[in-house]
Chains A and B, each alone.
Chain A
């Protein structure tokens, strides 16, 4: 079990650094998008490649950052019933969810996402708009993002088992989901 906990710690620390690094893409998206807009107003020209870069950046943030968001326990939950359940049952729901909800979803998306990416890669597919970007990197983000999410799910599973055995304190105890809303 200690071995597994070490794996979980390693995953968490890589995920933490990766998530922090990824968040810089928000600033990049703001700059790219606002400069695109200003250039369009000033010179009445726009480039599809730069317009597409906006959503490439944003997609990278939300897809590749899903695992980090899970680590921070910020995926919204409805805790109106859950918070009144006994602790043991809540832990059981977590474990069940990690395997059958998060796990199932991620596995299906990876399984379906890989051929989706490979088709695009084989054709060297470019976006339909004139001067657009090459598409496969965007499509690659789907299986990769879900793989990162799945790995974090494994880490959460290990931590939950450790919590149930009393080996570590509950990392989410007292925290109430997401901090910023709307």
Chain B
């Protein structure tokens, strides 16, 4: 018996972890306890294991060093910064302003409110990275309007929950920070790699809404005339956008001439910044001088869009260009959010305290899961668990693709029970080495897992996004504020049903990222490209002449 346990410690340990986690005690402490318990057993059984267990008491002294390693990890520092930034922005009313105005802009189109939710969801995702904030504000603002004008409840709930989870995959998401850290890759690269998949995913959501408006037009009606309080006036907005696009193009040309060495994506970021400033200044001049060149709708759209766009360029732009590390970007974003909230006179001391309090608790529970996982892994590696997992994963049939299919099904299944912090800290460190051994690019791998883990927010019945939406959606019949009609509530069943099509879209997206790695691989675009021919030539020159066995003499 003891021999059997000694030689199969790793699988037994992993199975115990699953059971213990399911007991429902906090994950961080459960992980650590399983690690410590098996450490004890491992030390006792080491002589019986035939060399597969390498544990002794002295190793325990490595634990504080492991904690200290987590403490001085600069990458993790980005977590509180982006969380704090998201919370401040949420409370500063940016989401409300955006939803109101963009809803008005898209309202006249069939399915317009749903498109507005997706668009604003993506914008918020690119500024905050906090799922709860987006879902709650969209649930509070857009859901009542959608219900008022007769949207299908399932569609309304699904689109809000799903758009909120975009914060998971569009940078600066926390999941990408943690995944990059666990895979030992740079967060900046992970951000660059996730950008296009994030946008494609948003487009897929919009595509689904479009399909619904064709198959079942009554599920997503256009806003009636009386609801469009900002009036019409898309014409002048189009003119303004065209002008801004012109400025963008001119700026790109100018940058290409004056800075010929600048990579194309960096030039695009700078040109975009110039174009945004141009549009904003124009809108402000129009507003203050009452020129009336722009319709009310157009100037409102520009004025609400600029602060989030400016923050996106400040944070993501500096990270992408490589001026700032993600941690610095996060800190500046948090400062920018504070300044924005003060400028809008929406920052109170209570709000600040609330945001700090939530950030502190989130930081603590996230890092403690990591600490627990580090204790677990000390033992797990000591019993050769990593070689067991790696061997199991690399011997799957089908090479890279077989591995990816298996791993994705596995993570999709686990996402029903675990949320992404647990997945990232427990599962990813086990998968990473096997992926690397199979020659899979780890950034690509991280983005695939990121899109997959997004489903953990949407799975009925435990997805957090659904839970947040439930907390703000009406539970009982209510009297609509505008129409005065009695309106039915949104049932929990409708929220679950609404989420299902979006979970399916998510799986389609995982398949797309697996099938088209180039969506992610653009992260390499900024790298120095080596000319293989030239390198070969240089090698030829230094290589010894064929036939001579002796290496050339070394010169000092």
Q: Which residues of A contact B (CB under 8 A)?
A: 19-20, 22-27, 29-31, 33-34, 36-38, 40-41, 52, 54-55, 58-59, 61-63, 65-66, 68-70, 72, 74-83, 85, 90, 93-94, 96-97, 100-102, 104-105, 108-109, 112-113, 115-116, 138-139, 141-142, 176, 178-182
Contact A80 B22 (CB under 8 A): yes
Contact A181 B363 (CB under 8 A): no
Contact A33 B359 (CB under 8 A): no
Q: Is B208 in contact with chain A by the CB < 8 A criterion?
A: no
Residue among B63, B77, B167, B367 making CB contact with A33, cutoff 8 Å: B77
Indicate whether A62 sits within 8 Å of B364 (C-beta atoms), given known contacts A26-B80, A108-B36. yes
Indicate whether A55 sits within 8 Å of B72 (C-beta atoms), given known contacts A41-B323, A77-B26, A180-B87. yes
Residues from chain A with a CB closer than 8 A to the CB of B364 are 61-63, 65-66, 68-69, 74-75
Q: What separation, in Å, do the CA atoms of A87 and B33 have in the docked complex? A: 23
Q: Is B413 in contact with chain A by the CB < 8 A criterion?
A: no
Could you say which of B47-55, B154-162, B258-266, B326-334 contacts chain A?
B326-334
Q: Which of B28, B131, B323 has the most CB of A within 10 A?
A: B28
Contact A181 B21 (CB under 8 A): no
Q: Is B168 in contact with chain A by the CB < 8 A criterion?
A: yes
Extra pairs beyond A24-B356, A65-B363 (7, CB < 8 Å): A29-B77, A62-B367, A69-B365, A105-B29, A182-B132, A182-B173, A182-B457
Contact B132 A37 (CB under 8 A): no
Q: Is the interface of A mostly helix, strand, loop or mixed?
A: helix
Q: What separation, in Å, do the CA atoms of A102 and B20 have in the docked complex? A: 13
User: What does the 1/0 interface line of B159-174 toward A look like (CB < 8 Å)?
Assistant: 0000000011000011
Contact B332 A37 (CB under 8 A): yes
Residues from chain B with a CB closer than 8 A to the CB of A96 are 25
Contact B131 A34 (CB under 8 A): no
Q: Which of A20, A70, A105, A182 has the most CB of B within 10 A?
A: A182
Specify the chain B residue showing the minimal Cβ separation from A52: B72
Residues from chain B with a CB closer than 8 A to the CB of A58 are 71, 76-77, 80, 363
Contact A37 B26 (CB under 8 A): no
Indicate whether A19 sits within 8 Å of B360 (C-beta atoms), given known contacts A31-B335, A62-B367. yes
Residues from chain A with a CB closer than 8 A to the CB of B131 are 181-182
Q: What separation, in Å, do the CA atoms of A141 and B464 have in the docked complex? A: 33
Contact B328 A81 (CB under 8 A): no
Indicate whether A138 sits within 8 Å of B71 (C-beta atoms), given known contacts A37-B331, A76-B369. yes
Q: What separation, in Å, do the CA atoms of A37 and B361 have in the docked complex? A: 25
Q: Is B220 in contact with chain A by the CB < 8 A criterion?
A: no
Contact A94 B25 (CB under 8 A): yes
Residues from chain A with a CB closer than 8 A to the CB of B363 are 26, 58, 61-62, 65
Specify the chain B residue showing the minimal Cβ separation from A119: B64
Contact B365 A77 (CB under 8 A): no
Residues from chain A with a CB closer than 8 A to the CB of B412 are none
Contact A76 B71 (CB under 8 A): no
Contact A142 B64 (CB under 8 A): yes
Q: What separation, in Å, do the CA atoms of A58 and B360 have in the docked complex? A: 9
Contact A76 B335 (CB under 8 A): no
What are 12 A-B interface contacts by the 8 Å CB criterion?
Answer: A19-B357, A26-B84, A26-B363, A30-B84, A33-B331, A37-B332, A54-B77, A77-B27, A101-B30, A104-B36, A105-B372, A180-B361
Specify the chain B residue showing the minimal Cβ separation from A141: B71
Residues from chain B with a CB closer than 8 A to the CB of A20 are 353, 357
A98 to chain B, nearest CB (A): 8
Q: Is B100 in contact with chain A by the CB < 8 A criterion?
A: no
Residues from chain B with a CB closer than 8 A to the CB of A79 are 24
Contact B168 A55 (CB under 8 A): no
Contact A27 B367 (CB under 8 A): no
Q: Is B444 in contact with chain A by the CB < 8 A criterion?
A: no
Q: Is B129 in contact with chain A by the CB < 8 A criterion?
A: yes
Q: What separation, in Å, do the CA atoms of A52 and B324 have in the docked complex? A: 17
Residue among A31, A102, A109 making CB contact with B64, cutoff 8 Å: A109
Residues from chain A with a CB closer than 8 A to the CB of B358 are 179-180
Residues from chain A with a CB closer than 8 A to the CB of B87 are 180
Q: What separation, in Å, do the CA atoms of A30 and B334 have in the docked complex? A: 7
Specify the chain B residue showing the minimal Cβ separation from A176: B467
Indicate whether A182 sits within 8 Å of B84 (C-beta atoms), given known contacts A68-B364, A75-B365. no
10 nearest interchain CB pairs?
A82-B24, A97-B25, A33-B331, A75-B26, A37-B328, A116-B64, A101-B33, A34-B331, A23-B356, A23-B360
Q: What separation, in Å, do the CA atoms of A166 and B208 have in the docked complex? A: 52
Residues from chain B with a CB closer than 8 A to the CB of A116 are 61, 64-65, 68
Residues from chain A with a CB closer than 8 A to the CB of B175 are 182
Contact B24 A142 (CB under 8 A): no
Contact B63 A29 (CB under 8 A): no
Indicate whether A108 sits within 8 Å of B63 (C-beta atoms), given known contacts A81-B22, A82-B24. yes
Could you say which of B191-199, B283-291, B295-303, B419-427 contacts chain A?
B419-427
Q: What separation, in Å, do the CA atoms of A38 and B167 have in the docked complex? A: 26
Contact B23 A82 (CB under 8 A): yes
Indicate whether A30 sits within 8 Å of B335 (C-beta atoms), given known contacts A105-B29, A109-B63. yes
Specify the chain A residue showing the minimal Cβ separation from B422: A76
Residue among A27, A69, A90 making CB contact with B356, cutoff 8 Å: A27
Contact B21 A142 (CB under 8 A): no
Residue among B61, B132, B338 making CB contact with A181, cutoff 8 Å: B132
Q: Is B368 in contact with chain A by the CB < 8 A criterion?
A: yes
Contact A76 B80 (CB under 8 A): no
Q: What separation, in Å, do the CA atoms of A108 and B28 have in the docked complex? A: 15
B121 to chain A, nearest CB (A): 13
Residue among B27, B73, B133, B360 making CB contact with A26, cutoff 8 Å: B360
Contact B24 A65 (CB under 8 A): no
Contact B331 A75 (CB under 8 A): no
Q: What separation, in Å, do the CA atoms of A171 and B132 have in the docked complex? A: 24
Specify the chain B residue showing the minimal Cβ separation from A22: B360
Contact A74 B361 (CB under 8 A): yes
Contact A182 B77 (CB under 8 A): no
Contact A55 B422 (CB under 8 A): no
Contact B25 A104 (CB under 8 A): no
Residues from chain B with a CB closer than 8 A to the CB of A33 are 77, 81, 327-328, 330-331
Q: What separation, in Å, do the CA atoms of A69 and B27 have in the docked complex? A: 13
B365 to chain A, nearest CB (A): 5
Contact B334 A34 (CB under 8 A): yes
Indicate whether A109 sits within 8 Å of B67 (C-beta atoms), given known contacts A33-B77, A76-B27. yes
Q: What separation, in Å, do the CA atoms of A80 and B206 have in the docked complex? A: 32
Residue among A30, A55, A97 making CB contact with B74, cutoff 8 Å: A55
Q: What separation, in Å, do the CA atoms of A52 and B72 have in the docked complex? A: 8
Contact B362 A178 (CB under 8 A): yes
Residue among A23, A34, A101 making CB contact with B25, cutoff 8 Å: A101
B195 to chain A, nearest CB (A): 18
